[in-house]
Amino acid sequence: MRKLITTAFCLLLVTPALAEQWQYEGGATPIAYIDNGPAQFQLACRGGQLAMGFWVREPDETVAKAMTMSLAITPDPAAGSQVASESGTSFAQDMPLVHLEGASVIVRGPVARQWARIAQGARADLRVAFVRLAGSGLEAFDTNVFGAKGSKSTIAQVLRKCG
């Protein structure tokens, strides 16, 4: 019994660490992903073409009602900083949203490749958010930070399959 309790406790300690590291799944659709609980960021080879996805489980009301939104990704954002058009942030403009068990967007082609390189180059973290331009400037919704640990090698596995 004591051994069982010790094993369960060790698994509880390891599980959060695994959640903060990029994961790889092979098979018919190779995928590299990271899940922080509220959201998931992924790169997959679908039909021989690279696709990038961002999925938020419980989106902000603005996102839940939107038909399209832009995306922003920032590698290694400064602590406490906000999403802005400077500081190395890249954007994917006006992508259609899918509303099913949350809100998600899928980006293919050159933008997905650019974001794969950004994710691979991050040292500590990646910040991904839905964004839109407003009269007051840039508004960010559902901003999520993902750890970059393992992103370089894990994403490389998908890119090898995706040509």
Question: For position 87, what pLDDT does the model report?
Answer: 75
pLDDT at position 7: 38
Helices (H), 33-150: 61-65, 110-121
CA distances from 114 to 52, 89, 127, 159 (A): 10, 12, 15, 12
In 10 A of CB 97, how many CB atoms? 20
Mark the ranges of the chain whose per-residue pLDDT is less than 50.
Answer: 1-19
The predicted structure's pLDDT at residue 9: 38
pLDDT at 88: 86
Q: What pTM did the predictor assign?
A: 0.85
Q: Where are the alpha helices (DSSP H) in the chain?
A: 2-19, 61-65, 110-121, 151-162
Predicted pLDDT of residue 20: 75
Query: Distance of alpha carbon 59 from its chain centroid, rounded?
Result: 14
Closest CA to 44 of 58, 34, 36: 34
The values of phi and psi at residue 85, to 5°, are -75, -5
